[in-house]
Amino acid sequence: MIGHRYEARVTWSRGTAPFVDNKYSRRHEWTFDGGVTVPASSSPSVVPLPFSAPDAVDPEEALVASASSCHMLWFLSLAAERGLVVDAYTDEAYGVLGRIARGRLAFSRIVLRPDIRFADPGTAGAATVDALHDAAHDKCFIASSLRCEVVVESN
């Protein structure tokens, strides 16, 4: 894994529309290894409709999803190592975008709010779940790569 390279192809085309005054479509595609293609766009909160696509994934949503997904995958791995059987994991994660130095926008915080269902609810108490979250956070490459705070609000 050390030194592994991750790739994504991002493709945009103007088509026949004009390219003036920032009045062009931000709709594009992300293609990943294995051939999965995801419709993408700027966020409608950044670029107003109709120049963004609300039915596509925007980079801000993708960042929050990446942090959540990375944490979840480590949590599941660590739970399995301890012999804990997880039946379901749902995270209603969100990110907070705000102003930082020199008026630039950046994520100031990403909040993960996982709801975890164990096969046997009695096998994992609050202390165990908290320890799994702490360990998952320490191992998550995405969280370690971000400047903003990543917080887990365990239920």
| pLDDT given for residue 121 in this prediction | 83
Are residues 48 and 69 located together in one domain of the fold? no
Are residues 48 and 63 located together in one domain of the fold? no
Are residues 66 and 105 located together in one domain of the fold? yes
Q: How many domains is the chain built from?
A: 2
SS3 of 1-62: the string is CCCCCCCEEEECCCCCCCCCCCCCCCCEEEEECCCCEEEECCCCCCCCCCCCCCCCECHHHH
Are residues 26 and 47 located together in one domain of the fold? yes
Residue 76 belongs to domain spanning: 59-152
Q: Using one digit for the tens of pLDDT, what is the confidence trace for 55-92?
A: 999 999 999 999 999 999 999 999 999 999 999 999 99
Are residues 64 and 47 located together in one domain of the fold? no
Q: What is the mean pLDDT of the chain?
A: 93
Q: What is the CATH number of the domain that holds 86?
A: 3.30.300.20
Instruction: Transcribe 112-134 into DSSP letters.
Output: E-EEEEESSGGGS-HHHHHHHHH
Q: Using one digit for the tens of pLDDT, what is the confidence trace for 112-121?
A: 999 999 999 8
Are residues 65 and 118 located together in one domain of the fold? yes
| pLDDT given for residue 1 in this prediction | 60
The answer to whether residue 46 scores a pLDDT higher than 80 is: yes
Mean pLDDT across the stretch 6-18? 91
